[in-house]
Amino acid sequence: MSGAGPVASPTTVPEQAPTVSFLSNSSTTASVKIEAQAPFEAIRALFDHLHASPEDVAKLNATYAHRGVIKTAALHKTESDQKFTIDLSPMRNSRIPQEVRDSLAPHGLGEVLDFFNNLSAEYVPTILSSLSLLAGTDLSAAHKSYNMNYRLCDYNPHTADPKSLNGCGAHTDYGTFSIIFQDGTSGLELEETPGTWVPVPGDATVVLTGWCAVILSGGRVSAARHRVRRTPGMRRISAVLFIAPDLDVKLQPLGDAQPIKSFSEGIMRGDLDVETFKEVMGKRWRYREDNEEMKDGDSMSQDSEIEKMVWG
Ligand SMILES: [Fe+2]
């Protein structure tokens, strides 16, 4: 299936300018240097402010009533991932009324939005071209609209289960790639071979490829499962930029080259578009993160359901 493999930064990265290497099961490698630093002080301040201001949480969540912007299920659910998240995106941000934006700007929101906006403009095209080399096909045509999500994570010790080691359950990201910034605290782990988890240094910036990259590249790019383990009593902050193909893109191997893995008939026919795939994945995320009830009552893991769709 999806071997582990994409993308961890080397352990000797200089702190100022981490070089992020894509490692793939093909012989080609590419790397990109990410010099940006996430504004962790601003992110911490934003979470602290929101943890103390239920009225601002309500205002922010009202801008995206469908799923909410800040997720606090971990406050009362021991079985969900023990973390808080703030989910932003260019689309969501445009819905935040000026008044709410202005009131949260001094509490870190301004700096956070600037960071993500600059990051996406500066690095997404470069990373897409590096990834295109590995994929053996040009990925940029499938990424015209910059379908992005910005996520802040607060692995906060004060949750429903302070002793839990589960910060974020094992999963593979759905999109093309994700850039993860960490505040120096370890906890992120990659699955190297099934069941073998390798810690990523807490100060490394990593780029992880996801399911969409696996499919579009015909299996030339692989995607690593990852998870976050908590250290009880220790706070850990991360910031993640997710890039996915445009919503109307059909998820099938691109270009003329033969896929190097065997995909399901549905994938080869182009039955699945990004929007539908995101819905299926989202249902599983919410199950893991918010413990949303599954209507069909089944207990299949997110990855096994996706593998069934992708590999047939
Ligand atoms: Fe992830």
Residue 108 structure tokens: 């870190």
Expressed in angstroms and rounded, the spacing between residue 281 Cα and the centre of ligand 1 is 12
Expressed in angstroms and rounded, the spacing between residue 147 Cα and the centre of ligand 1 is 16
Instruction: Please state, in angstroms and rounded to a whole number, the distance separating the CA atoms of residues 298 and 252.
Output: 27
Expressed in angstroms and rounded, the spacing between residue 75 Cα and the centre of ligand 1 is 21
Query: For position 282, what pLDDT does the model report?
Result: 78
The reply to whether the predicted model has a pTM over 0.85 is yes
Residue 260, C-beta contacts closer than 8 angstroms, at least 6 positions apart: 218, 219, 220
Residue 252, C-beta contacts closer than 8 angstroms, at least 6 positions apart: 215, 216, 263, 267, 268, 269, 270, 272
Residue 105 is classified by DSSP as G
Rg from Cα positions in the chain: 19
Expressed in angstroms and rounded, the spacing between residue 172 Cα and the centre of ligand 1 is 6
| Dihedrals phi, psi of 15, to nearest 5 degrees | -65, -30
Query: For position 304, what pLDDT does the model report?
Result: 81
Query: For position 4, what pLDDT does the model report?
Result: 38
Expressed in angstroms and rounded, the spacing between residue 188 Cα and the centre of ligand 1 is 10
Expressed in angstroms and rounded, the spacing between residue 103 Cα and the centre of ligand 1 is 30
Q: Using alpha carbons, select from 216, 226, 219, 212 the residue that is nearest to residue 280.
A: 212
Q: Using alpha carbons, select from 195, 154, 214 the residue that is nearest to residue 7.
A: 214
Instruction: Please state, in angstroms and rounded to a whole number, the distance separating the CA atoms of residues 87 and 64.
Output: 10
Expressed in angstroms and rounded, the spacing between residue 7 Cα and the centre of ligand 1 is 13
Expressed in angstroms and rounded, the spacing between residue 209 Cα and the centre of ligand 1 is 9
Expressed in angstroms and rounded, the spacing between residue 26 Cα and the centre of ligand 1 is 23
Query: For position 13, what pLDDT does the model report?
Result: 39
Expressed in angstroms and rounded, the spacing between residue 226 Cα and the centre of ligand 1 is 6
Expressed in angstroms and rounded, the spacing between residue 230 Cα and the centre of ligand 1 is 15
Query: For position 30, what pLDDT does the model report?
Result: 61
Query: For position 128, what pLDDT does the model report?
Result: 93
Q: What is the pLDDT along the chain (312 residues), one digit of tens a residue?
A: 333 344 444 444 344 444 455 544 444 456 678 889 999 999 999 999 999 999 999 999 998 888 889 998 899 999 889 999 999 999 888 889 999 999 999 999 999 999 999 999 999 999 999 999 889 999 999 999 999 999 999 999 999 999 999 999 999 999 999 999 999 999 999 998 889 999 999 999 999 999 999 999 999 998 889 999 999 999 999 999 999 999 999 999 999 889 999 999 999 999 999 999 988 887 777 767 765 554 444 445 677 888 888 997
Query: For position 259, what pLDDT does the model report?
Result: 94
Amino acid at 267: I
Instruction: Please state, in angstroms and rounded to a whole number, the distance separating the CA atoms of residues 231 and 213.
Output: 31
